Each structure stands twice: as C-alpha cells, then as structure tokens.
C-alpha cells in the first residue's frame, strides 16, 4: 500500500506533529507508529520521536533497539544523531527512556535538547512526536515543540472528556497552535465523523477555537494481534481495514502545505 507524494512538495523545514491524547489506552502510539511507516514508505524522510517519558514503547512496537535515548542526549552523553535508529521502511526513530522528568525541570539540559532538535529539521520532511498521555508537564513540554497537535480520542465518554481537557489546555497556553483530531476505534467512518462533529461543536461553543478533522480509524481486531507480535500493523496486515483508515489519514497529512518557514524548535 503506497502513498503517492508526487502531488506534494517536500518542505525545506520539517513539518512537526505532536501526537497526544487526554488519556491512555486510546491507541496513540499505534497511530504514531503506523502513520510514520506509511509516510516513510511513500518516500518521505520521517522521524518518529518517542517522547513518552513514563511508558516509552515505540521500540517495543517496532522491534527497534535504539543505541541511545533522549535522556542521554539531554544529559550530553550522546549527540542526537548518535541516538537515531533505523526502523521499518526506512523510518528513523529516536527513543525515550522511562521516568525522565519535564524538560523545564532541567533547564540547561532542556536547552541543549532543543539545540539538538534544530539540527534535524532539515534532515527530515516530517517529524512525529509521540508524547505521553494526559496534561502533565512532561507531556505538554513536548507538545509545544510541534507546529500542529493531533489529539487521539475514542468514542468512550472518558476519552471525549479528556480530549476536551487537552484542547482546552492548548487553547489557554498557546491559542495559535493548530489542533487536529483523529477518532480511533470506531465502527465506521460515519460514526467517527459524527463524534468529531459533536466534539467540534463543544470546542467552538466554549473555547471559540477552530480544530481540524484528520480522520477516523476503524475498529479492527487485527490491530491487537500486531501489537502482541510486536510487528507494526503496516508491516503485519497492510490490507486490513484499519490500514485503509491510516492510508486516508496519511494522504490527508500530505495535502497540508507548510506556511511558516521559521524554525519550529528554535521558535
């Protein structure tokens, strides 16, 4: 399953997305991993940063062993290029280690990490940051490094409420930030669109903010099988129902044109 990138234009500075969620268990990392593989397979230079400092698991889901971690980069023990690992379909991965605190809590080291990130902006077309779940400091620090935040939610009422809490925080702290939503684990696309429409109406009413619909992902039992086997769905069941959803979302992201040429991480 290939993605046609001919219609798109490679940006001179990477487009940076933070993939996050208001609560755990909504498939955030699964989305980050498979979107990254889809776009890398299509010929884009893609970097996936595992920034979940509490429960880093991109390496487990991809079967990739990283030579160094974000923590080592922050501590000055390795350069960011030394920490890059090759993943499936020429995807590049930067892994995290668990139990690392907020970047803001280690000010000088946080500045070093940002300087290292700047070095990567011209080396990749798209950078995905897979953050932790929730609205704690060590999550939003990484969220604010992105140009657009993609919030993953499911039809569950708790996921709906927690996604709203995340969007509200983003609106308060950084109102100009672009926010997109992906509705995961739905019966069909119609259900996902209805959930987003309802969510969007609430956001508009109470926050006065515009958010974007980035697509839905169909409920598919084979997703759990791929996770248990530690094989990304894009490699395990390329023609599955869920992968058809990922294809549509990937094509959606490829159609987004970059409008701000200023360095994102150094901003």
Mean pLDDT in consecutive groups of 10 residues from the start of the chain, 267 residues: 49 84 93 96 94 81 87 84 94 79 51 78 92 84 90 96 96 94 96 97 96 96 92 95 94 66 50
Q: What is the largest CA-CA distance in the chain?
A: 49
What are the distances in angstroms from CA 28 to CA 111, 124, 189, 224, 267? 27, 22, 18, 13, 26
- Strand (E) positions, 68-107? 84-86, 92-94
Following CA atoms 213, 131, 22, 110 in sequence, which dihedral angle do they give, to the nearest 10 degrees? -120
Domain boundaries along the sequence of the chain: 15-254
- Which residues on neighbouring strands pair with residue 151, listed in sequence order? 20, 181
Residue carrying structure tokens 């080396």 = 123
Give the three-class secondary structure for 57: coil
Residue 215's nearest CA partner among 240, 252, 187 is: 252
| Rounded to 5°, angle at Cα 174 from 197 and 185 | 35
Burial 29-47 (b: 16+ CB within 10 A, else e): bbbbbbbbbbbbbbbbbbb
pTM: 0.88
pLDDT at 110: 57
For residue 156, what are the contacts with CB-CB under 8 A and spacing of at least 6? none
> Both tokens of residue 190?
């119609």
Q: Determine which helix (DSSP H) or strand (DSSP E) holds 241, and give its type and residue range.
A: helix 241-254
pLDDT at 7: 42
Residue carrying structure tokens 């605190």 = 101
Give the three-class secondary structure for 120: coil
pLDDT at 260: 52
In angstroms, the CA 109 to CA 121 distance is 19
Return the CATH superfamily for domain 15-254: P-loop containing nucleotide triphosphate hydrolases (3.40.50.300)
Residue 128's nearest CA partner among 156, 97, 87 is: 87
Alpha-helical (H) ranges within 23-83 are 28-41, 58-62, 70-74
């Amino acid at each position: 399953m290939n993605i046609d990138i001919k219609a798109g234009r490679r940006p001179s500075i990477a487009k940076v997305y933070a993939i996050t969620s208001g609560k755990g268990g909504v498939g955030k990392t699964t989305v980050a991993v498979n979107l990254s593989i889809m776009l890398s397979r299509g010929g884009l230079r893609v970097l996936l940063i595992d920034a979940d400092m509490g429960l880093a698991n991109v390496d487990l889901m991809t079967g990739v062993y990283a030579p160094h971690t974000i923590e080592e980069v922050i501590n000055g023990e390795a350069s960011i290029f030394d920490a890059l690992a090759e993943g499936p379909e020429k995807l590049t991965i930067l892994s995290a280690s668990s139990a690392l605190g907020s970047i803001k809590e280690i000010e000088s080291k946080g500045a070093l990490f940002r300087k290292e990130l700047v070095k990567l902006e011209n080396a990749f077309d798209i950078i995905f940051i897979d953050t932790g779940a929730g609205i704690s400091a060590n999550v939003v620090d990484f969220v604010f490094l992105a140009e657009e935040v993609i919030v993953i939610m499911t039809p569950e009422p708790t996921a709906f409420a927690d996604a709203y809490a995340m969007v509200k925080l983003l609106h308060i702290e950084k109102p100009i930030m672009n926010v997109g939503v992906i509705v995961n684990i739905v019966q069909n696309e119609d259900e996902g669109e209805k959930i987003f429409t309802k969510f969007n109406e609430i956001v508009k009413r109470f926050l006065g903010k515009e958010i974007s619909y980035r697509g839905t992902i169909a409920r598919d039992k084979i997703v759990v099988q791929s996770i248990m086997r530690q094989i990304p769905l894009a490699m395990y069941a390329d023609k599955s129902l869920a992968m058809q959803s990922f294809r549509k979302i990937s094509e959606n992201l490829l159609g987004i044109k970059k409008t701000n040429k200023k360095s994102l991480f150094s901003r």
